[in-house]
Amino acid sequence: MRSAVKASGLLRRVALRGRGGRGLPPLACLGLVIVLALAAPPRGEAAGEPARPPGGPPPDLEQQVYAVASGLRCVVCQNLSVADSPSDLAKEMRSLIRERLQQGKTPDEIRAYFVSRYGDFVLLEPPKRGFNLLVWGLPFVALLAGACGVYLVARRWTERAHQAAPALDPAYLERVRREIEERKGSTGS
């Protein structure tokens, strides 16, 4: 949520600069929008989490639970993280994360545990290796290919517009000039 607010502020600044005539070119704006959309992870408020009773776990523990849970997929939901899902299994997974953090396990160890049970599928962000590299690389390749395409087409159009008119036949030009002179002569008399 916070990253979305940041992104909208940045976009507003880019737009304001654009009004003064010194903003980023449209292609760069489009690129910025795509990069920001890819960089901003989906976040939401943790649903169904009971309010922390007085004397409960320290707030930084809950933040750590949220941080780990928000990177894990709720395996019984569609497109929801363990942090955002109200399902029973996601609640149990959050409890397990909390328990393991209290045991002194690191977030990486906890993530590795879930991957060892569910595979890479449980990670909301696919690891940058093997076939997954396509997911990370293709948008940028497509963006680059699109930019190249736009550049080539624009260059062709500009070249056509600036192309000199074909040279006229000198004999034809001479005839036209003579006819104009003749007309001038005939109107003058």
Partner 1 sequence: MSWKKALIPLASVPLIILLAYGFWTDPRAIPSPLVRQAAPSFRLALYDGDPLSLEGLKGKPVVLNFWASWCYPACYEEAPLLEATWRKYRDQGLMVVGVDIQDKEANAREFMRRFDFSFPNGPDPGSKISIDYGVYGVPETFFIDRQGRIKYKHVGALTPAVMEEQVRAILRET
The residue ranges that bind partner 1 (CB under 8 A) are 75-76, 88-89, 92-93, 95-96, 115-119, 121, 134, 145
Least separation, in Å, of the C-beta of 117 and partner 1? 4
User: What tokens does 115 get?
Assistant: 């991957």
Q: Is 9 or 48 the residue whose CB approaches partner 1 more closely?
A: 48
Shortest reach from residue 48's CB to partner 1, in Å: 14
Smallest distance, Å, CB 49 to partner 1? 16
Q: State the distance between the two ends of the chain, measured CA to CA, in whole angstroms.
A: 87
Name which of 16 and 76 has its Cβ closer to partner 1: 76
Q: In whole angstroms, how close is the CB of 104 to partner 1 at the nearest point?
A: 19
Q: How far is the CB of 121 from partner 1 (least distance, A)?
A: 5
Nearer Cβ to partner 1 (22/117): 117
Q: Provide the 10 A C-beta neighbour count for residue 49.
A: 15
Q: Which residue number, 109 or 174, has a Cβ lying nearer to partner 1?
A: 109
Q: Which is nearer to partner 1, 134 or 180 (CB)?
A: 134
